[in-house]
Structure 1
């Protein structure tokens, strides 16, 4: 979801960019969660990790329960406000590592008439998929089957321009300079649910590399889904397995994630969240004309897109999961159960995302990013795929996790609804602080009105 605060380096164009209807180019939490500060991130020094929270002095079980209840009340209030602002539904899950997680599911009455939302429902995770793909690549590195310094040309000969200069690490941390395949008009019908074509990693990569590179490899950062189309093609080439099988065999089964899989069509494996977009007559003016007509089941000014095929996301965004499953995944990842120490360190070695703020701004690791907020340092990714917006966060140990799932996407993608965006910001800020067992700081006061001119 590009915005004025996003450090995106995609060239501007008079035509609307299909990539905006894909998923976020940035960590949504970076501009939304209060103010990022004091983040020192670099490939040489490595990312700053959060200091442990001090032990509560003189705390009692009743005091802990009282704090948890206050936290739940605050989060539930903010979730209801987000629904009142126009979100069809929202799921929140926060585990501060100190007790029973907070789980909230709020839903608009009209959406509840279709199906009652539950906190454990399956959800399309969009670009959060990239974290799992990076983990699989690093597992193969630990097994000696690839090296992060390998040029792309070694694995995909002739498929990537300047492939001898682009390494696998550059793909994984978005410093390759490859343009984004979701900006190509060929993919737009799939984004809108109108094209049943089953995209392969190689096809998505071929679409992405048709346009000129954004910059010389390794010289800048720019979020690109094409990077992960290439990663997916490399993983398939090395293992001879499908991406769905790799997710199942290397992550979901070992961690007993019963509701986590890579979608291969529009079907779901279990009970799931229904995602919605406004129909063309009710789409806000801020959404470009190219994205106003979404396929799906139409009813009362809205389109249910749950049956649409998300396969165009591929290695960049086709994973389905739940809030609880993702918490278990982050716990296993950050605690070292999925990767040896050397590979986990590589995953958390970051490059600056914002050229205007290279030291204190957010950092991009391999398939995950980091930013320091007043409440603590978070590692996270977010995702947006038609009908579904998601953010997943954790601390540096994986003992604290949080998730926000919202069952619509275009209104956030284009900033087309200021009230909805503000409500989403408030909820995500509170969720981030709640993960660290802290209350969200009070919002900054509105600037005082200018004095009336003297007469």
Structure 2
């Protein structure tokens, strides 16, 4: 090969790379325009207050958009960077930190929980206590009911909205309840599973779960808009609007004079975070890939049991596994907190991660679940990604 030909070849390669680099932002802008038009159309058609959306594309480009309003009093527009309470999506962060401890040998997923809390005075009052494993708590096959729906919890929350709850206070609501089914023989989603699991992990590790998550997830993955929901004031928080007649003793605006009307701290390991869609989408991909643990443990994380959360849904370890039609299977988690709805997922077939948040929990306004909105946006990207 002559020196002249080599130089020409390098020049052509350089020109091609410049062309591709120039096309990438143009294509990203086109996708952003299409996604924005769709989100605006859905907001106008259904009348929900506002929403934010983010996508992490195969090349690493990030699209963030917003629609509607963040506050009905000031009529301030929703911005892509607005934060909301992300509800049960936060379970993914708790599981990630716990799996790192399992990788280090602090516990095994199939260990009996009796091994760690068998001497607690209240241990035998837990449904299926002697049959439960750590894994059963994570994939909701424990037979334990949801604590939120028991006793006077809602009355206590209404009477003491600023109260800081201890895990054992929350677990007391499931004491002496008959199990829904034999341990490992069914599925019933309940935050109580994660409250109990995280209580055990703190006991094993001698560390606070939030401290572990800050170090191992938030800091490591650069989730700058994500923080524990342990207080009532947050910067950049969109006002959420709770539906009337919901299970919680609240309705209307969840924020009054820049302060949440109840302390979200009670959610803890059931969710427990404030975030935005850019962080949620980035973490959805990072959690699916989760390179900090072994491939074998990663496989277990993605192995799901049949779940009654939707048609053909599975539930892994802090991970909802759901069919997405032409977009393929998705791996992520939805979330609900009074006044806020969240969904975030990674689509391996497209190598795309998506997240959406609404500042309302009124399904009558949305007309469908947040997951359906996510799939609607995924279809737009699926057509384009498959053609490129």
Q: Which residue of 1 aligns with 2:36?
A: 76
Q: 1:329 to 1:429 in 2, by over 3 A?
A: closer
Q: Which residue of 2 aligns with 1:105?
A: 66
Q: 1:69 to 1:353 in 2, by over 3 A?
A: same
Higher Cα Rg: structure 1 or 2? 2
Deviations 1:390-443 (A, max 9, x none): 00111349942100000011x12xxxx1x5224956632222334545599xxx
Q: Which residue of 2 aligns with 1:421?
A: 367
TM-score (norm 2): 0.82
- In 1, Cα distance between equivalents of 2:168 and 2:328: 40
1:82 Cα deviation from its structure 2 partner: 3.7
Deviations 1:37-87 (A, max 9, x none): xxxxxxxxxxxxxxxxxxxxxx97787666545533442233223433232
Q: Which residue of 2 aligns with 1:228?
A: 194
Deviations 1:110-143 (A, max 9, x none): 6382544321222211101111111122111101
Deviations 1:175-216 (A, max 9, x none): 000001111243324666952221122221221344211000
List runs of 5+ in structure 2 lacking aligned partners: 1-18
Q: Which residue of 1 aligns with 2:242?
A: 277
Q: Which moved more, 1:101-110 or 1:308-317?
A: 101-110
Secondary structure at the counterpart of residue 129 of structure 2:
coil
Q: How many pairs were matched up?
A: 361
Which of 328, 335, 340 in structure 2 is aligned with 1:383?
335
Q: How does 1:155-304 map to 2 (within 5 A)?
A: 155-157=116-118, 158-159=122-123, 160-189=126-155, 195-268=161-234, 270-277=235-242, 283=244, 287=245, 291=249, 293=251, 296=254
Larger helix share, 1 or 2: 2
Secondary structure at the counterpart of residue 255 of structure 1:
coil
Q: Which residue of 1 aligns with 2:267?
A: 313
1:88 and 1:108 in contact (8 A); partners too:
yes
Q: Which moved more, 1:423-432 or 1:197-206?
A: 423-432
Q: Which residue of 1 aligns with 2:378?
A: 432
- In 2, Cα distance between equivalents of 1:290 and 1:99: 39
TM-score (norm 1): 0.71
Which of 279, 284, 287 in structure 2 is aligned with 1:333?
287
Secondary structure at the counterpart of residue 339 of structure 1:
coil
Secondary structure at the counterpart of residue 274 of structure 1:
coil
Secondary structure at the counterpart of residue 72 of structure 2:
helix
1:187 and 1:312 in contact (8 A); partners too:
no
- In 1, Cα distance between equivalents of 2:277 and 2:358: 12
Q: 1:174 to 1:70 in 2, by over 3 A?
A: same
1:313 Cα deviation from its structure 2 partner: 0.6
Q: 1:405 to 1:310 in 2, by over 3 A?
A: same
- In 2, Cα distance between equivalents of 1:134 and 1:163: 21
Which of 51, 54, 58 in structure 2 is aligned with 1:93?
54
1:352 Cα deviation from its structure 2 partner: 1.1
Which of 360, 365, 368 in structure 1 is aligned with 2:319?
368
1:370 and 1:380 in contact (8 A); partners too:
yes
Q: Which structure's relative contact order is higher, taking Cα pairs within 8 Å and 6+ residues apart?
A: 1
- In 2, Cα distance between equivalents of 1:436 and 1:198: 44
Q: 1:99 to 1:224 in 2, by over 3 A?
A: closer
Secondary structure at the counterpart of residue 220 of structure 2:
helix
Deviations 1:124-169 (A, max 9, x none): 1110111111112211110100111111122222422332211000
Q: CA RMSD in A?
A: 3.2
- In 2, Cα distance between equivalents of 1:244 and 1:425: 27
1:260 Cα deviation from its structure 2 partner: 1.8
- In 2, Cα distance between equivalents of 1:63 and 1:140: 44
- In 1, Cα distance between equivalents of 2:284 and 2:374: 18
